[in-house]
Amino acid sequence: MEENDIKDLSFEEALVQLENIVRELESGRIRLDDAVAAYERAVSLKQLCESKLKAAQLKIEKIELSPEGEATTVPLDKIED
């Protein structure tokens, strides 16, 4: 899978690939060139996972303004209708 295909992965798929890369790097049985390429891919996968987690967090939070005009977020399960 190429770098451009990373953006099409689900969070779960990206996380599995990231975990596999970490295991491979930790094993120490990978050539230096392959380790560098794997590390670069891992960075991209990590960024994708973080982005998807942030998007999910934003979906489950509501932005509220305090009486002083300060913006805060409130978890949706704490919102009173």
Q: Given this model, what pLDDT does residue 32 score? A: 96
Domain count, the chain: 1
Q: Which two tokens stand for residue 57?
A: 């967090």
**75 SS3 class:** strand
Q: Given this model, what pLDDT does residue 77 score? A: 67
pLDDT (tens digit per residue) in 19-69: 999 999 999 999 999 999 999 999 999 999 999 999 888 777 777 778 888
Average the pLDDT over 2-12 and give the result: 86
Among all chains, which residue has been given the structure tokens 């300060």?
A: 70
Q: Given this model, what pLDDT does residue 79 score? A: 52
Q: Given this model, what pLDDT does residue 47 score? A: 97
Q: Are 17 and 40 in contact (CB under 8 A)?
A: no
Q: Which residues constitute the domain of residue 16?
A: 3-78
Q: Which two tokens stand for residue 45?
A: 């996968």
